[in-house]
Amino acid sequence: MNMHLGAKRAAATTTAALLVVLGLGSGIASADDTPADTSVVINTEPPQETDPTDTDVVDVPADQVGVEPDIPGSGDSGPGNHPGSEFCDRANVYIPTAKRGDYHKGVGAPNANHNGTNHTARSSFTAEVSGTVGVSVSAGLTITTNAMIGKIEQKYNVDLSASLTARLGNNFQVDTPAHKTTHASYGVYRLRNQGTSYIIYSNCATSAKKSITSYTPHYVGWYIWESS
What ranges do the domains of the chain cover? 7-227
User: What pLDDT score was predicted for residue 73?
Assistant: 58
The answer to whether the predicted template modeling score (pTM) of the entire model surpasses 0.75 is: yes
Give the ranges where the chain is alpha helix by DSSP (H): 12-24, 145-156
Distance from C-alpha of 182 to C-alpha of 112, rounded to nearest angstrom: 6
224, HSE (Cβ side, Cα atoms, 13 Å)? 26
Distance from C-alpha of 195 to C-alpha of 99, rounded to nearest angstrom: 9
Distance from C-alpha of 76 to C-alpha of 84, rounded to nearest angstrom: 17
User: What pLDDT score was predicted for residue 86?
Assistant: 72
Pair 22, 222: CB distance under 8 Å: yes
Distance from C-alpha of 176 to C-alpha of 32, rounded to nearest angstrom: 28
Q: In terms of Cα–Cα distance, which of 220, 186, 177, 157 is closest to 11?
A: 177
Instruction: Give the three-class secondary structure for 142.
Output: coil
As a whole number of angstroms, the longest Cα–Cα distance in the chain is 84
**Residue 192: Cβ-neighbour burial (10 angstroms; 0-12, 13-18, 19+):** buried
The phi, psi pair for 138, rounded to 5°, reads -80, 170
Pair 145, 65: CB distance under 8 Å: yes
Q: How far apart are the first and last CA of the chain?
A: 22
**Residue 63: Cβ-neighbour burial (10 angstroms; 0-12, 13-18, 19+):** exposed
User: What pLDDT score was predicted for residue 2?
Assistant: 41
Give pLDDT tens digits along the chain (228 positions): 443 333 333 332 233 233 323 332 322 222 234 444 455 689 999 999 999 999 999 999 999 999 999 876 555 555 555 455 678 888 999 999 999 999 999 999 999 999 999 999 999 999 999 999 999 999 999 999 999 999 999 999 999 999 999 999 999 999 999 999 999 999 999 999 999 999 999 889 999 999 999 999 999 999 999 999
Q: Cα angle vertex 135, ends 31, 37, to 5°?
A: 30
